[in-house]
A and B are shown apart, each in its own frame.
Chain A
C-alpha cells in the first residue's frame, strides 16, 4: 500500500492507504475530519468540496494517493483563533443554510470563487456555484451570503453596508 503524507487543516497525516481510497473517505475515516460529507457518486453535488493546495476540488473525485504531498483545507480548518471565517459568518447572518449538509462544500466553493473574483456579480456567483447543489435554500440566501462575505473580505468595514 502506498504511504502518503497529507496536510489536513494544518496537521500532517501519514498513512498507508489502498490506492482506491477516495480522498473524502480518507479525510473522514482516517483524518477524523467528518465535517466534509458525501452527497453523491458522480461529482455533481459538491457537498464534499475541499481546497487542495488552495484550489477547490471535489474530494469524492480525487484519490487519497493523489493528495500525497499536498495541503487540504476543509470547512473545519477555516477561521483563525476560534473566530469563524467571514464566509462562515456570512452564511449564518444571511440564513444561507437550512439542513446544512451542502454547507461545508458550498462554503469552500464560495471561498474559491472569491479567490478568483473578489467582487462577483449575482450572475457570477450563481455561475461560480454551479457545481454545488443545495436542496433547501433555493440559493437566494447563499448568493446574499457570498456578496456579504465578499464585501467584508475586501474591506472589513464595508460589511455593515451590505447588511439588509
Chain B
C-alpha cells in the first residue's frame, strides 16, 4: 500500500536535526534506515505528521574504538556492523546476532540505532544490547544523556527516548579474553521474527563459569535479562549439566506473549531449551 502524506525534513547536521525534531512535536518520527518504519507507513499502521530523515548525518555512521568499549554510531547499518573489524574482534555476539536480522537487502538499509530505538521485543538486537550492558547516548536541544540498556526498553515498542530525543550512539563494553558468545534464534522461516531468541556470553576461568550474561528476545514486552540463569550459572563447574540446570530458570519472571507462531506456554518451554543451547555453545562444552 501507500503511506499517508507527511512533512519531510532532511537536516544537514545533528544540531539542526534535534532542533527540527523539537519543533516537529510529538507526532514526528525519525527516519533512519526505514526498514521497520516503511512497512508500518505502507500499511498505514503509523501516521506521523512529519519524518525527520537522518540520512545526511554521516557522523552518526562511525564505529570507533573507545578504550574499553566500542562506540557504534546510531546510523551504522547492520551491513556495516557485520563487517566491522572492531565489532568482530570485541563484540562478536553483536556480529552474530546482526547476521540473523532480516535479509541482506534489509541489512543494507536498516541501522543498529534504529533497531534499538524501535524497541520491538521481537527484534534481535535489543537483547544483545541488554546482555552486553550497552549504554545508549541520546541527544536533544536540551542536551545529551546516557541511558543504560537496562533502562532503555520501557514497554512494547516504547523506548526511554523522549519525543524530541535522538539516539546518536551506543557504547558497548568490550568483552575481554576468555569470553565465548552465542545468539540462538528460533524462528519458523528464515525471514520470520524470532519466536524466542537468546543472547548469551560466558566467561570461563579454569573450568568454571566465571561470568555469564543472558538476555532473551520476545519473552515479554521488552527484552529481558535472564538474571536467574546468570545467578545459577555463575561460579559453577563448566559442564553441560550445570549449564542446563541453570537454563531451566530462563523463563523465570518473564511474561511471554502469545501470537500466531507460539503460545506463551511454548515460549516458556523454548526459553529453557534455547538458553541451554546458547550457554553450551557459548561455553564451548
Contact = CB atoms under 8 A, between A and B. Distances in A.
Interface of A: 2, 18-20, 22, 25, 41-44, 46, 49, 52, 55-58, 60-63, 65-66, 109, 112-113, 116, 127-128, 130-132
Interface in B33-76: 34-35, 38-39, 41-43, 51, 53, 55
Contacts of A63: 31, 34, 38, 53
B102 interface: yes
Given A19-B8, A41-B42, A43-B106, A62 B191 contact: no
B273 interface: no
B39 A41 contact: yes
A112 B105 CA distance: 9
Contacts, number: 88
Interface of B: 1-8, 10, 31, 34-35, 38-39, 41-43, 51, 53, 55, 79, 102-106, 108-109, 190-191
B191 A131 contact: yes
A43 B35 contact: yes
A57 B108 contact: yes
A113 B38 contact: no
Contacts of B34: 61-63, 66
Which one of B41, B102, B104, B109 has the highest number of Cβ atoms from chain A below 10 Å of its Cβ? B104
A128 B109 contact: no
B6 A20 contact: yes
A109 B4 contact: no
Contacts of B108: 52, 55-57
A127 B190 CA distance: 8
Enumerate the 9 nearest inter-chain pairs by beta-carbon distance, A residue then B residue, closest first: A131-B103, A19-B8, A130-B190, A61-B38, A56-B105, A55-B108, A20-B3, A42-B39, A41-B42
A55 B78 CA distance: 13
A65 B54 CA distance: 12
6 contacts: A20-B8, A22-B2, A22-B42, A43-B38, A60-B38, A130-B191
Nearest to B35: A61
Given A22-B38, A128-B104, 10 more contacts: A19-B5, A19-B7, A20-B2, A22-B3, A46-B105, A57-B105, A61-B106, A63-B38, A131-B102, A131-B106
A63 B79 CA distance: 19
A46 B103 contact: yes
A56 B79 CA distance: 11
A135 to B, nearest CB: 14
Which one of B4, B5, B35, B108 has the highest number of Cβ atoms from chain A below 10 Å of its Cβ? B108
Contact of A62 (B4, B6, B109): B109
B106 A58 contact: yes
Nearest to A109: B105
A61 B109 CA distance: 9
B281 to A, nearest CB: 19
Nearest to A2: B8
B4 A66 contact: no
Contacts of A113: 104
A100 B106 CA distance: 22
Given A55-B79, A130-B191, A66 B106 contact: no
A131 B191 CA distance: 7
